[in-house]
Amino acid sequence: MQGSFSELEYESKKRKTRRELFLEEMESVMPWSLLMEVIRPCYPRTGGVGRQPKGLNSMLRIHCMQHWFNYSDRQMEDALYEIESIRRFAGYSRVTDALPDESTILKFRHLLEKHHLTAEILNVINNHLEQCGIQVSKGSMVDATIIHAPSSTKNSSGTRDPEMHQTRKGKQWYFGMKVHVGADVNSGAVHSVTVTPANKADIDELPKLLRAEDEVVFADAGYTSDAYKRGARHLGIRWCVNDKRKSKKNLSSSQRRRNRKQSSVRSRVEHIFRVVKRQFGFEKTRYRGLAKNASQVNMLMALANIYMLRKRLAA
């Protein structure tokens, strides 16, 4: 009876919080059944020592909320106990239910990492967007961003992450990894992702970010390359990469006009980084090693695609 009164009180609140509105929006646009089909073949049927595993639907929702709100495993467990809207979104009506603990949430993340499922989830979501009528073009925008990693050596190994690296951008030095993305020109949705140490040159990852059917590529001056430009022309691909100033020689007026025109298209690829860094709070790595962080980045990009196109999906 007490649970019924609490539910009635929750439902009769005067207004909904921004978190509740966000979760309602994501509830309506996320292709839950498609994502569960990706994970189900690898999901355990028993929980060990005769226990039943937690429901796949609940664990998937919890994993998504970890990325949306930038929660660690422990913070996610605490949120399930403390925040009613998060608990309800995960499929639990009462705090007295058998909620997943920190280790259960950790094991689910390791399951996705072990079977490389987040990259498959990204592909499934992009296919879903295409089937929903989100226009897909034959052009890509490419860009990269640096994600910081802890530079402190005050840890069990006494060393920094050996798979991360430092790099210089302008007059500032950074330590961490670099996320490279290829995004569709029309929809802005990310279709290709690679993760490298921060000192990896952007141009080296370009071939991995393009699709076979692409007919045009947009990029900033960091991707300037005469060899790639000749190769693109040979393949019939329009090379819309901004010109770079050489030594002290300024760009001509025609080059500046061309750069502005191309940047009006290319700059939209940076919207995905704003969502991932500002909306989802992914500005610093939480795990050691590129493999774990790559798994997280793939999931973040998949969720960011849905978030950016949520209004079109809802319509």
For the stretch 82-133, pLDDT in tens is 999 999 999 998 887 889 999 999 999 999 999 999 999 999 999 999 999 8
Considering Cα of 251, then 210, then 306, then 304, what sign does the dihedral take?
negative
Q: What is the mean pLDDT of the chain?
A: 90
**β pairing state of 238-241 and 216-219:** parallel
All structural domains of the chain, each given as residue ranges with its CATH number in brackets, are: 2-115 (no CATH), 136-314 (3.30.420)
pLDDT score for 252: 85
The rounded distance, in Å, linking the Cα atoms of 144 and 230 is: 23
**Cα 215 from chain centre:** 25
For 136, phi and psi rounded to 5 degrees? -115, 125
Query: Sorting pLDDT into bands at 50, 70 and 90, what band is 208?
Result: very high
Those residues with Cβ within 8 angstroms of residue 268's Cβ, 6 or more apart along the chain or in another chain:
141, 183, 188
pLDDT greater than 70 at residue 49: no
pLDDT score for 246: 74
pLDDT score for 8: 61
The tokens for 289 are 């090693």
What's the 3-state SS for 141-208?
EEEEEEEECCCCCCCCCCCCCCCCEEEEECCEEEEEEEEEEEEECCCCCEEEEEEEECCCCHHHHHHH
Q: Give residue 243's region: left, alpha or beta (phi > 0; psi -120 to 50).
A: beta
Which among 128-142, 150-164, 299-313 has the top mean pLDDT?
Answer: 299-313
pLDDT tens-digit readout, 115-127: 999 999 999 999 9
pLDDT score for 1: 42
The tokens for 303 are 């969720």
- The mean per-residue pLDDT over the stretch 67-93 comes to 94
